[in-house]
Amino acid sequence: MINLEILLESIGSFEERINYKFKNKKNIILALTHSSYANENRNERLSSNERLEFLGDAVLNIIISETIYNNYPNLSEGQLTKVRANIVCEQSLVKCSNNIEVGKFLLLGKGEDISGGRTRTSILSDAFEAVIGAVYLDGGMKNAKAFVYSQMEHLIKDSVSGIIFLDYKTQFQEIVQKDGEKKIAYEIVEENGPDHDKEFVAQVKVAERIIGKGKGKSKKEAEQAAAKAALEMLSTK
């Protein structure tokens, strides 16, 4: 059972952290409610943040697309797509989520909480997008833009400058397939550690030949690390 007084106090602290005060507190409570909590507390008839994350993802993409389109007129369509992908990738969203300590305020089921859900990358990135959706529903596009800019303006500039995380898989594919189609395959070859702190090892093959290996806290991160290693190997040839 939710202690309403404690919950509202927590919401107030979060509002101060993101510099936005919700007119309807239900919007931000929904954004911070993980499916594990909703499932464990069905008698409270709570929904999870999954639908709101879906909306926030769409809002974030239009904000970032419009921003880089208007501010960087010299970028081609392909370059705009890459810049946007760098900004809205899981790694960037997790950084933003950690900056405002989303994990601290999440409503999680007991099992999810015990197993490290407050630091799980997928939960944090989804919750950050749900917060964007909540701000959009509560205050419209103007406030959603202000929130996104406050959290991601530096990521936009760094992405255009090529400083932050790059999509190594795309770069590797472009190099390998520039002279024709070659089959590229990624495989997860190891999983180490407990469920709440997994480490994955991935390898990338070209025509059945292993080109690179890499580690990461998620399968996607491990695949990107493998692609990065493959790129580094190619650059030494």
Q: Which domains does the chain have, with CATH numbers?
A: 4-161 (1.10.1520.10), 168-235 (3.30.160.20)
**More reliable by pLDDT, 235 or 214:** 214
pLDDT of residue 2 exceeding 80, the answer is no
Residue 163 pLDDT grade (very low, low, confident, very high; cuts 50, 70, 90): low
Q: Which residues are catalytic?
A: 57, 129
Place of tokens 């909590």: 37
- Residue 166's pLDDT band (boundaries 50, 70, 90)? low
* 29-33, 45-49, 166-170, 193-197: range with highest mean pLDDT: 29-33
Helix (H, G, I), strand (E, B) or coil at 65: helix
Q: Which residue has the higher pLDDT, 133 or 1?
A: 133
Between helix 77-87 and helix 50-71 the angle, nearest 10°, is 140
Residue 202 DSSP label: E
- Please tell me the predicted confidence (pLDDT) of residue 76: 87
- pLDDT-derived band at 180 (thresholds 50, 70, 90) equals confident
Per-residue pLDDT, 170 = 82
Structural tokens at position 49: 């943040």
What are the C-alpha distances in Å from 114 to residues 43, 128, 153, 195, 197? 22, 21, 34, 11, 12
> Residue 73 in contact with residue 79, Cβ under 8 Å?
no
Q: Find the mean pLDDT for residues 117-124.
A: 90
Task: Over range 160-174, report the average pLDDT.
Answer: 77
Is the whole-model pTM more than 0.85?
A: no
Share of residues in the chain with pLDDT > 90 (%): 54
Indicate if the pLDDT at residue 18 is higher than 80: yes
DSSP H stretches of helix in 100-213: 102-105, 110-114, 121-161, 168-176
User: Model confidence over 88-114: pLDDT tens digits?
Assistant: 988 899 999 999 999 999 998 898 889
Q: Answer yes or no: is pLDDT of 236 > 80.
A: no
With a cut of 60, say whether residue 4 has pLDDT above it: no
Residue 209: which H helix or E strand, with range?
A: strand 209-216
- pLDDT at residue 226 tops 60: yes
> 202: pLDDT confidence band, cut at 50, 70 and 90?
very high
